[in-house]
Amino acid sequence: MAEHVDLEKRRQAVYGWLLLSPAAILLTLFALYPSVATFWSSLFSRGTRRRPSEFVGIENYADLFADPTFWKVVGNNLVYAGVTIPMSIAIALAMALWANSRIPARGFVRTAYFTPTVLPMIAAANLWLFFYTPGLGVLDQIGSLFGLPSVNWLGQPETALWAVIIVTIWKEAGFFMIFYLAALQTIPEDLKEASDIEGASRWTYTRRIVLPLLMPTTLFIMVNALINSVKLIDHLFILTKGGPNDASKLILYYIWEMAFAFFDAPHAAAMTILVLVVLGIVAGIKFSYLDKRTHYQ
């Protein structure tokens, strides 16, 4: 009997490993191995034909921390994330609440809100380039009706990053709205009826019932928005190319520029590892603290 139980346990263990093996192989090939290889590359100097690369330890990281351009890019990314994440979430939530209510042409409203998400980022950037073009763009044409001077939105350090931020918010809000809209439709109607019986206002119902029940969705969207804030670079190639004077340059664009424009793979690898470390810390906070508070465990 004991042998039969042991055999069954081994069989279940084999089945479990067989089920896990495809995901484990893919994660190893496309996540773990590239991460380890990138870290190893970050410990070597930049090699040339005459001067092979040498092991330098953390020297590449020290160079980054001593580089003012690196800190400028980090500051740009912090502003970019600090604005796009809360604004995209707030607008997405407002659009979802509006699109989920009983309004005329509700299907058309949902489609209109979601349409920017369907566009590739390159197409969206070209569309907004038509808005931002000095003298000919839509914004300048509207401003001229009120006697306002022409503004080079993408060519000024004071406005370039904010112009990129607006494009990102416009592009992402509709995508996040879909998640909120799906979550709103899972809230039982009984809760709304009970709040009406208790005489609660619409704002009270939204604040005390709807928003707490949407917290798991909000956390999911927040994590995705954070990841997007360090991986979206398509629109930078069309709009600003990181300029002027690095005013709109973000981390991933700087990594690409370092690796493929300056051919400095070790420093690009070091920057990549720093991004992974930061995202890992955020993931640890999410799983150890935020998940428990969000899902009320």
| Spatial contact of 165 and 171, defined as CB atoms under 8 Å apart | no
Confidence at residue 158, expressed as pLDDT on a 0 to 100 scale: 92
Confidence at residue 43, expressed as pLDDT on a 0 to 100 scale: 92
Confidence at residue 66, expressed as pLDDT on a 0 to 100 scale: 94
Kindly list the structural domains of the chain, giving each domain's residue range(s) and its CATH number in brackets, ordered by start.
68-294 (1.10.3720.10)
Confidence at residue 143, expressed as pLDDT on a 0 to 100 scale: 87
> Which of 29-33, 48-52, 197-201 shows the lowest mean pLDDT across its residues?
48-52
User: Which helix H or strand E contains 281, and what residues bound it?
Assistant: helix 265-285
Confidence at residue 297, expressed as pLDDT on a 0 to 100 scale: 45
Alpha-carbon gap, residue 230 to 227, rounded angstroms: 6
Alpha-carbon gap, residue 276 to 252, rounded angstroms: 12
Write the DSSP assignment of 23-57 as a string of letters. HHHHHIIIIIHHHHHHHHHTTBPPP-SSS---B-T
Confidence at residue 9, expressed as pLDDT on a 0 to 100 scale: 80
* Residue 88 pLDDT > 90: yes
The DSSP code for 149 is P
Confidence at residue 231, expressed as pLDDT on a 0 to 100 scale: 85
pLDDT bucket at 209, cuts 50 / 70 / 90: confident
pLDDT (average), residues 7-30: 86
pLDDT bucket at 3, cuts 50 / 70 / 90: low
Rounded to the nearest angstrom, the gap between the alpha carbon of residue 117 and the centroid of all alpha carbons in its chain is 14
Q: What angle in degrees, to the nearest 10, is found between the helix axes of 160-184 and 121-132? A: 130
Confidence at residue 247, expressed as pLDDT on a 0 to 100 scale: 92
pLDDT digits 0-9 by tens, 139-167: 888 888 888 888 899 999 999 999 999 99
* Residue 8 pLDDT > 80: no
pLDDT bucket at 5, cuts 50 / 70 / 90: low
Please tell me the pTM assigned to this model. Answer: 0.88
* 196, two tokens: 């009406």
Q: What is the mean pLDDT of the chain?
A: 87
* Residue 292 pLDDT > 70: no
